[in-house]
Amino acid sequence: MAFGKEETKENKKGSAFTEKRKAKKAIVKAYLETEAGKALTGEVLEAIKYLAGMGARSQGMQISNELKELLVAGDVSAIDIFTKFGYGQPTMQKKIRDFIKAEPENRIWVKFENGNYSIAGRGENAPRGWTGFVPVVNAEL
């Protein structure tokens, strides 16, 4: 139990990744202990592929995608984001910069007002009156 919270289905969101990763590791470990040197089975090969792509970065990307989907659905309070993802304002400032640094066609401009995060605009150009972070454009020489 983290922070004295009762474990709920929402609190265990990250544990699905952990459980799946543990299962894949067990498959690879069993192969290495008993069948090392034999041809890889489809199950073992799939487990290796999964583990090779499941670093902290890909888990973070999935959480960022969930956060983005939540913001796209409508205004979200800072308390809801903290409860669901454990992100305070400093972390959210970094996430917002990441959303703005995205490719111009995927860019979302997120603002924070009155304790709520909401989308101020989408696309390459900042919304009218934007005073927040703006990505640097590298000019060709």
CATH code at position 90: 1.10.10
Question: Do 34 and 87 belong together in one domain?
Answer: no
For residue 43, what are its two tokens?
């199950």
Residue 46: which domain range?
15-53
* Rounded Cα distance, 46 and 38, in Å: 16
Question: Do 64 and 40 belong together in one domain?
Answer: no
Place of tokens 């690879």: 28
What's the burial of 99, exposed, middle or buried (CB within 10 Å: 0-12/13-18/19+)? buried
Going by the DSSP 8-state scheme, the letter that residue 4 receives in this structure is T
Give the mean model confidence (pLDDT) for residues 75-98.
89
Does a structural domain hold residue 46? yes
Give the mean model confidence (pLDDT) for residues 49-53.
70
> Does the pLDDT value for residue 96 go beyond 60?
yes
Give this prediction's pTM. 0.54
Question: Do 78 and 97 belong together in one domain?
Answer: yes
**Number of continuous H segments (helices) and E segments (strands) in the chain:** 5, 3
